[in-house]
Amino acid sequence: MTPRWTTAVLDTELLGGWAVARGPDGFLIDGNGPLFPREWLKRQELPVLAEHGIGHLDGEPVYLLELECPAQVEGCHWQGLRAFMLEGDHTLYRVLAYAAQIGTWAREHRYCGSCARLMVQVPRERAMHCVVCEMRSYPRISPSMIVLITRGDEVLLARSPRFVAGVYSTLAGFAEPGESAEECLVREVREEVQLEVRNIQYMGSQCWPFPHSMMLGFHAEYAGGDIVPQADEIEDAQWFNVHRLPPLPASRSIARYLIDLYVARRLGLAEPVLPG
Ligand SMILES: NC(=O)c1ccc[n+]([C@@H]2O[C@H](COP(=O)([O-])OP(=O)(O)OC[C@H]3O[C@@H](n4cnc5c(N)ncnc54)[C@H](O)[C@@H]3O)[C@@H](O)[C@H]2O)c1
Ligand SMILES: [Mg+2]
Ligand SMILES: [Zn+2]
């Protein structure tokens, strides 16, 4: 089956296609959603910082208008990326997730990080180029590991003070230079709850565009230690029986997938599918 959405670097000089507009409050939407006829959207006098050709949706070119500041369009409002992740068409969310990452990256790489001069977009490539010192910047992706630790019928879940009230999730953390995903896992688990793990198994990955993480999902078994939550980072961490789980993260997150998969295997239920 042909994928509905494929990324591409499109020429912004060409006319037509769809466009999405992204400002500080998310994406512009009306009753038909966030995709607008591009030529119409460009006539709305939006404060456009940059335009990027980002790919094809059902064969049609899609562009991003990245805005400089908040704006208003009659009959439209703004919706954050998280709301698109939580509900609605998943392919559309993937288009917007990509648009958000390209918009953020290009915005944050207008100036060369090496010599501080203005950068220019490289034609036909997703890169910013400094004509003075030749440095190139490519879209930024931050590898992060996420792990479900289990002990028989029990799973270890924790709360960050940033979470929605009551929700518990798997442990996660950004990889540091010099470490593998597995080493990151062992370090983060020690830092966040002071436990030791064994039988580390890679389960799958997910793009997490908040703002540019690549989640590498693992399962690990408890090997030793008593839970000591990390001050400031972990508000609470507990072992939960698979029959008595607390409120869990959003169903499209890899955190939720790792939990649902373990519970399904433990209880002999149908296995969930990891959303891309
Ligand atoms: N998709 C999911 O199911 C899911 C679930 C949990 C966490 N996450 C994501 O995983 C990522 C890591 O989780 P965490 O927040 O617990 O990380 P963490 O445990 O490493 O702690 C967060 C801290 O890391 C530092 N930090 C921020 N950005 C960084 C970067 N790019 N590189 C290195 N350090 C950075 C900051 O000091 C921040 O306070 C976050 O993006 C989070 O949103 C995704
Ligand atoms: Mg963490
Ligand atoms: Zn430079």
**In the chain, what percentage of residues exceed pLDDT 90?**
97
Binding-site entries for a divalent metal cation: 172, 188, 192, 233
Does residue 1 register a pLDDT over 70?
no
- Residue 159's closest CA among 223, 227, 226, 102? 227
Tell me whether residue 47 is in a domain. yes
Mutate which of 82, 167, 174 for ligand 1 pocket (most atoms within 8 A of beta carbon): 174
CATH code for the domain of 70: 3.90.79.20
User: Between β-strands 142-151 and 154-159, what pairing exists: parallel, antiparallel or unpaired?
Assistant: antiparallel
**In the chain, what percentage of residues exceed pLDDT 70?**
100
CA 89, CA 94: separation in Å to the nearest integer? 9
Q: Are residues 94 and 156 in the same domain?
A: no
First to last CA, the chain: 16
Q: Are residues 11 and 92 in the same domain?
A: yes
Structure tokens at 201: 């198994």
Domain count, the chain: 2
Does residue 85 register a pLDDT over 80?
yes
Q: Are residues 246 and 194 in the same domain?
A: yes
CA 70, CA 26: separation in Å to the nearest integer? 10
Q: Are residues 95 and 159 in the same domain?
A: no
Does residue 275 register a pLDDT over 90?
no
Q: Are residues 167 and 87 in the same domain?
A: no
pLDDT in tens, 252-271: 999 999 999 999 999 999 99
Q: Whose CA is nearest to atom 29 of ligand 1?
A: 174
Tell me whether residue 238 is in a domain. yes
CATH code for the domain of 233: 3.90.79.10
Tell me whether residue 132 is in a domain. no
**pTM confidence score:** 0.95
**Domain extent at residue 212:** 142-267
Tell me whether residue 116 is in a domain. no
Give the number of the atom of ligand 1 that is nearest the alpha carbon of residue 142: 31
Q: How far is the CA of 166 from the centre of ligand 2 (A)?
A: 17
Q: Are residues 176 and 228 in the same domain?
A: yes
Does ipTM surpass 0.90 in this model?
yes
Q: How far is the CA of 159 from the centre of ligand 2 (A)?
A: 10
